[in-house]
Chain A
Amino acid sequence: MAPVAPRSGDAIFANVERVNAELFTLTYGAIVRQLLTDLEEVEEVNKQLDEMGYNIGVRLIDEFLAKSNVSRCVDFKETAEVIAKVGFKMFLGITATVTNWDADGTSCSLVLEDNPLVDFVELPDTCQGLYYCNILSGVIRGGLEMVSMKTEVTWLRDMLRGDDAYELQVKLLKQVPEEYPYKDDE
């Protein structure tokens, strides 16, 4: 059986069930607002968003792999490209660009010009220090961990804080090879 070619992000996005982005944006906004009320500390909220993102990423990767038919990525560079072009596209309808590779190819930046999470959002002065989109960093971290890559994801630029784009730094910490659950007795 011939292997199925990986589909482009646009093609997948056109085929998945889609919903009104406003519902998504407003729901996310309401969740962040409620978390701020309940947790009060901005750092706690950041952490919680990252946790939630991680849990989502761990499950989302299955859907991603199933729908996109990408084969195993050869290296981290390819992984980053796939996340930027296919991953973001098929879920959020946006594409990111990959830049700022470091010398050994273990760290790069994903730059987003457009972000549906933040439509109509403004951060009040009381929320300095809040990484509003922190759920995204958790999602990437969770998804990559499920494909055996331990990463650290941090925000370098955030439009809600006055920068001109959203920039996420993804650093590969460790590539954990897949272990078979069965030990060889021999």
Chain B
Amino acid sequence: MGREVAESCIDSLLTEMVSSYCNHFYANKPELAARRIEAIGYQVGHQLSERYTMERPRFSDHLEAIKFICKDFWSELFKKQIDNLKTNHRGTFVLQDNRFRWLSRMSPEPSLENVDSQDPSENKAAQATSMHLYFPCGIIRGALSNLGIPCAVSADISNLPACEYI
């Protein structure tokens, strides 16, 4: 869709952004850093969905909007669609991407379920990964709220590089 830049530009920019906010600005306050990163994502999602839905008529219901996110929106951003969409028909949707681009360069963590781990370095790495994810969560939240659907988005990365958005 028009102009392109090298992927490494956006990768570097995102890595640097997360690193600045986590280590530089809010070194000991990960929640504040997370919120900022999510806010940046929200802006981007909002504006992108604005641009990508300019010619379309309004979506008839939530499912249509979510399907738009899964197919067209995700393709524009990541050149692929969401691999799997699940719903409980009561307002919760799970979007699964089996090879999420921005995470594909991060090493898989041996065990993310083990939250009582005493090893601080393992937690730090997991934390860095989850910080990165606040950005795409923000993008999704921004896009959906622009389509008239207020929501909360969280990410789950039990199998890198797959990523689930809820």
Contacts and interface: CB of A to CB of B under 8 A. Distances in A.
Interface of A: 13, 16-24, 26-31, 33-34, 38, 48, 51-52, 55-56, 59-60, 63, 90-93, 116, 119, 135
Contacts of A116: 3, 5
Contacts, number: 102
Contact of A16 (B7, B13, B20, B40): B7
Interface residues of B, number: 31
Contacts of B47: 26, 29-30
Contacts of A38: 25, 36
A63 B8 CA distance: 9
Interface of B: 1-10, 12-14, 16-17, 19-20, 25, 36, 39-41, 43-44, 47-48, 51, 76-79
A180 to B, nearest CB: 29
B104 to A, nearest CB: 11
B6 A22 contact: no
User: Would you list the 8 A-B pairs with minimal beta carbon distance, nearest first?
Assistant: A30-B43, A21-B3, A18-B4, A17-B7, A30-B40, A56-B12, A91-B6, A26-B44
Contact of B40 (A13, A31, A135): A31
Contacts of B78: 19
Nearest to B77: A23
B48 A23 contact: yes
A24 B36 contact: no
B1 A20 contact: yes
17 contacts: A13-B6, A18-B5, A19-B77, A20-B4, A30-B43, A30-B44, A34-B40, A52-B16, A52-B20, A56-B13, A56-B16, A60-B8, A91-B9, A92-B9, A93-B3, A93-B4, A93-B6
Contacts of A56: 12-13, 16
Given A27-B13, A27-B17, A52-B17, 16 more contacts: A16-B7, A19-B4, A19-B78, A19-B79, A22-B3, A23-B76, A23-B77, A24-B9, A26-B47, A28-B13, A29-B47, A30-B41, A38-B36, A60-B8, A91-B9, A92-B9
